[in-house]
Every structure is written in C-alpha cells, then in structure tokens.
C-alpha cells in the first residue's frame, strides 16, 4: 500500500523520458537561447550509443535509431565546431549507413510499426542533412525513396492549413523550410506556448515559423530536464492519471480508504476536464481529444460513480472500428481494445453492433501466433494482455489463443520480453492478463505465476527501457510503475 500512496502523490503533470530526437531539435536554438541549446548539445554528446548512433539502447528499433541519428548529426553539424563534434558525426554516419543497409527488411510488409510521422519527418531531415553536406544525395537509396513519398504526401496536403486543431501539428517539423505555407502560424500554438505539447515541433516553430518566439522558448525551458535532455512530450497530465488509475482499478487496493482518498483529487481532475461530446485528450493543455484517453477515462469515471456522457464514446466510431483521432489513416488496435473494455463495463452484449464491430476487427488483426502488435507500443505484450482482459466476456477462443502465446513465450526465469531481454513492464502486463484469465474461471498454472511474481519482485526497479512510441521511443515512467505495482498486487497470493 505504501508504494501506491507514494505513486498517487507523484502523479500530476507527468514525466516522460528524454529523447535524442527532441533534444537535438532544441540544441539547434543557439541563436535564441544559448544556455538551453548548449545544455541540450552536451546531452547529445554524452548520449551517443557505442555503435555511433543515437536513440534507445534497448530495444534496437529501426525507426527510432534512424530518426534520432539524423536529428543528432544535424544538430552537431549545425552547432558543433569542435573536433569532438566532427568525430561524433563521422561515427554517426557509419552507424546510419549500417542501419539503412537493413532497410528493406525493416520497412517490409512484416516490419514493426513505424514511429509517429516517420515517413514525412525523415525525408525532411535527409534533405537538411544533404544541404549541410553531412550525407550525399540519396537518389534511389532507401532514404531518397522516402523523400519522394514525402513529396506525394505534401501534395495531398496542399490547401490545408495545419493548426493546433489538426493532429498533424504534432509533427509540424515535417514541413521543413519548403512547406511553411502549410502551417497556420497564428493558430499553431497551444496556450502554454507549445505546438501540440511536443518539444521537437515547438523548437522547429521557434526556429523557422516564428523565430525566437518567447512563449515557445519558455515552454521548452520549462520541460527541459536538469541534465539538458528534452522529453518526447509534456505535459501529459490526463494520460498519466487515467492509466495509473486504470491499473489500480484492476486490484483490490482501490477499496482501501486511504488509497481512495488519494485517488479522489485525480478523479476530480479527470471529471473536470471531460468535454461533453468529445471526451478527453492526453493533457488539459492540449486542444484535441482522442479515443484512447476518452475510453479509458470513461471507464474510470463510471467505475467510481462519476458522470460522463456515453455519446462521447460513439463519436469515435467508424464503419469498421473505433478511431483514436479524427482523420486517422491507420486504426489503433489498442484503442479498439480499450473501447471494448469500456463498453463491456457499461453492459453492452455480444449482439450489440459496436461490440460485433470491434470483435471482428480484433479477429482480423490477431497474428497467427495469437498476439497483436499496435502503433503506440513496441511490445505486443502490452496490446495482447489488454486484449485478453477485454475479450474474455465476448470471445473466449480469441483470448485463449492469446493466453497460450503468453504462456509459451515465458522465459525460464519467469519473465517476459519480446526483444530478447526481459523487462519488468512486459512481465507485469502478462501477470495482469493471466490473473484475469484465471479469475474468470479459466484454468491457470500457479507455478507459472509464482515464477513470474518472484522474478518481478527482484527486478521491478527503475529504469525501464522505453517501449512506448511517439516520434521516437519513450517511457512514461510513472505509468510503467503503476503497471508493475498492479501486477505485484494481483500476484501476491501465488
């Protein structure tokens, strides 16, 4: 209980791990904020990986390494005049060449999901790197081909003004210096000075859209960490609250009066920021709402006796699935799973058209091995474990296939990890799913759960590898801690 009390006192504005990508964009701002820029540059210099690339050390994720390495080399070239900077760029070039040699496999039909905006941001970075002389003209090489894809996408955006009310504002830097006319410069910023609560897009804005913009620079100063690193996005005050509470609600801890008292202010905050006919966004300081925070937030509010309108759920309903954002190109499996869990709690039966829709979508997207992969998290254990819990009531066979995959992939020490190394986060997801499966009256294996619990007890400490996807990989550390605490609570009797 003490750990939960500490966690509930910690959640608020949210903490996201620093990324090389967002830090690199901030490092370019030497003309407008030399102190912050130099601090960010030093962070980049200290966080180059042994192979010369930048990005997350574990897991190796192609899209993350490409976008972070390109952004870091540009920042160093743009800023650096030292021998050290040039040496790091040379190492980065060798690493990038090695990374892109695997591009056919990494970008093929069986490839893992791309990071947010990859196909339009990377070509912009490639163009900048070519102009700076960091890399040669790419021509028919993979990065050159991405450039042509960007051109086609930019042509489709002709006539559209990107403002804070469009999701693509989150990747505003993809406009580069050649498509500034796509941006509604006077309506791009949030009240906090950011562009979509995203530091990279905000640094781009402060450099190219409204050079030296004071509100943008103050936002970046506020979110910069003490060591110079810059997070993937901030704040994410609603996102953090809804997921911590969602994980807590899986356990019996919520029945403790002390825990409930600590939860109440966070539930009040979610209820206060609920927008009728819209739902929730990931932050009270962000203009857009989304299906994920809305569906999870609705479940929390209704579970705890608060009011929220049902119509806010159905505005995200499409012909064949539920969407996360308006004008979304590729549907999110996670979002549909979370809508299923919420509609189940409300009491929708299998015969309801909305339930049928989601179940059919999940059946069609389940991997032949039994798991699911989605675009918001690089581990299928996240999506698959949530699917097991949401589908139990509606499709036992589909859940059983997923449970069998989880059981079959447990490591000999009791842990789980999709990328050849175990993580506490992934192991916690599996414990949650297996516990709920057994609680539903299904056959379980106590030895499996005991081994998993024992491993997690020994390995739950920070730091946790970044497994969540934005434009690069990141870790919402408080949310991850809540997953682990939830799993430990559920497994305590095994």
pLDDT tens-place string over residues 222-269: 999 999 999 999 999 999 999 999 999 999 998 899 999 999 999 999
Residue 120 lies in a domain: yes
Collapsing DSSP to helix, strand or coil, 85 comes out as helix
The three-class DSSP label of residue 269 is: helix
State the pLDDT at residue 157.
67
The pLDDT of residue 425:
98
**Does residue 366 have a pLDDT over 60?**
yes
pLDDT of residue 131: 85
- CB neighbours (10 Å) of residue 316? 24
**Confidence (pLDDT) at 377:** 96
Residue that terminates a domain, selected from 196, 223, 250: 223
Is residue 1 domain-resident?
no
Residue 279 three-state SS: strand
Identify the weakest region by mean pLDDT among 99-103, 170-174, 248-252, 286-290: 99-103
Radius of gyration of the chain (CA): 22
Q: What is the CATH number of the domain that holds 287?
A: 1.50.10.20
Residue 6 lies in a domain: no
Q: How many domains, in total, are found in the chain?
A: 2
The confidence score (pLDDT) of residue 109 equals: 44
Angle between helices 20-27 and 34-46 (to 10 degrees): 140
194 with 259, same domain: the answer is: no
Range in 107-116, 253-262, 292-301, 331-340 with the lowest mean pLDDT = 107-116
Under DSSP, the state recorded for 113 is P
Residues 197 and 251 in one domain: no
Is residue 31 over pLDDT 70?
yes
Tokens 């966690």 identify what position? 7
In this prediction, residue 103 carries a pLDDT of 58
* 305 in any annotated domain: yes
pLDDT at 133 over 90: no
The mean per-residue pLDDT over the stretch 477-488 comes to 96
Residue 404 covered by a domain: yes
Window from 16-25, 97-106, 172-181, 446-455 with minimum mean pLDDT: 97-106
Same domain? 242 vs 290: yes
Residue 150 inside a domain? The answer is yes
* The pLDDT of residue 165 is above 90: yes
What is the value of pTM for the model shown?
0.94
Query: Residues 92-104: what's their mean pLDDT?
Result: 80
Q: What is the pLDDT of residue 178?
A: 85
Asked if residue 105 has pLDDT above 90, the reply is no
Least confident of 67-76, 144-153, 435-444, 474-483: 144-153
Question: How large a percentage of the chain has pLDDT more than 90?
Answer: 75
Q: Is 140 left (phi over 0), alpha (psi -120 to 50) or beta?
A: alpha
Note whether 207 and 244 are same-domain residues.
no
What's 171's domain CATH number? 1.50.10.160
Give the residue from 223, 247, 264 where a domain finishes.
Answer: 223
* 421-432 tens-digit pLDDT: 999 999 999 999
Determine phi and psi for 437, rounding to 5 degrees. Answer: -60, -45
Instruction: Kindly report each contact of residues 396-401 with a partner whose C-beta sits within 8 Å and lies 24 or more positions away, as own/partner.
Output: 398/359, 398/362, 398/363, 398/366, 399/437, 400/442, 401/366, 401/370
pLDDT digits (tens, 9 = 90+) for 269-327: 999 999 999 999 999 999 999 999 999 999 999 999 998 899 999 999 999 999 999 87
Domain boundary among 223, 257, 283: 223
For residue 175, give its domain range. 20-223
- Across the chain, what does the average pLDDT equal? 91
Q: How confident is the model at residue 108 (pLDDT cuts 50, 70, 90)?
A: very low
The predicted pLDDT at position 463 comes to: 81
Q: Please report whether residue 385 resides in a domain.
A: yes
469 forms beta bridges with 473
Predicted local confidence at residue 139, as pLDDT: 54
pLDDT, average across residues 346-368: 96
Region 23-44 average pLDDT: 96
């Amino acid at each position: 209980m003490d750990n939960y009390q500490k966690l509930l006192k910690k959640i608020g504005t949210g903490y996201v791990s620093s990324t090389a990508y967002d830090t690199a964009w901030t490092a370019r701002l030497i003309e407008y904020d030399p102190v912050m820029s130099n601090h960010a540059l030093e962070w980049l210099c200290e966080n180059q990986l042994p192979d010369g690339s930048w990005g997350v050390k574990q897991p190796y994720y192609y899209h993350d390494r490409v976008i972070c390495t390109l952004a870091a080399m540009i920042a160093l070239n743009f800023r650096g005049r030292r021998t050290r900077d040039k040496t790091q760029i040379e190492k980065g070039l060798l690493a990038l060449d090695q990374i892109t040699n695997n591009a056919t496999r990494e970008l093929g039909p069986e490839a893992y999901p791309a990071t947010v905006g990859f196909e339009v941001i990377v070509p912009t970075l490639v163009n900048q790197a070519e102009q700076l002389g960091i890399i040669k003209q790419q021509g028919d090489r993979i990065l050159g081909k991405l450039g042509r894809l960007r051109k086609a996408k930019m042509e489709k955006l002709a006539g559209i003004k990107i403002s804070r009310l469009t999701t693509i504002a989150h990747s505003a830097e993809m406009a580069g210096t050649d498509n500034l006319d796509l941006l509604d410069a006077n309506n791009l910023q949030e009240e906090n000075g950011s562009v979509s609560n995203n530091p990279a897009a905000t640094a781009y804005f402060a450099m190219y859209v409204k050079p030296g913009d004071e509100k943008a620079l103050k936002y970046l100063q506020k979110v910069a960490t003490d060591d110079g690193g810059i997070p993937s996005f901030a704040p994410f005050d609603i996102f953090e609250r809804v997921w911590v509470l969602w994980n807590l609600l899986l356990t019996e801890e919520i029945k403790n009066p002390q825990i409930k008292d600590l939860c109440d202010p966070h539930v009040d905050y979610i209820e206060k920021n609920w927008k009728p006919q819209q739902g929730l966004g990931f932050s009270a300081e962000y203009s857009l709402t989304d299906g994920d925070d809305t569906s999870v937030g609705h479940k929390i509010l209704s579970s705890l006796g608060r009011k929220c309108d049902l119509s806010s759920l159905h505005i995200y309903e499409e012909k064949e699935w539920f969407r996360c954002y308006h004008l979304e190109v590729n549907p999110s499996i996670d979002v549909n799973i979370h809508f299923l869990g919420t509609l189940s709690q409300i009491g929708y039966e299998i015969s309801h058209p909305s339930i049928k829709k989601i179940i059919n979508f999940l059946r069609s997207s389940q991997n032949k091995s039994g798991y699911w992969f989605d675009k918001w998290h690089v581990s299928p254990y996240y999506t698959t474990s949530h699917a097991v819990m949401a589908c139990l009531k509606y499709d036992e066979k589909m859940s059983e296939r997923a449970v069998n995959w989880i059981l079959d992939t447990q490591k000999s020490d009791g842990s789980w990890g999709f990328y050849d190394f175990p993580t506490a986060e992934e192991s916690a997801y599996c414990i949650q799913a297996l516990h709920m499966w057994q609680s539903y009256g299904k056959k379980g294996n106590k030895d499996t759960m005991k081994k998993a619990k024992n491993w997690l007890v020994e390995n739950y400490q920070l730091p946790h590898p970044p497994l969540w996807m934005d434009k690069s990989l990141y870790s919402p550390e408080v949310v991850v801690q809540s997953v682990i605490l939830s799993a430990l609570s559920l497994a305590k009797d095994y």
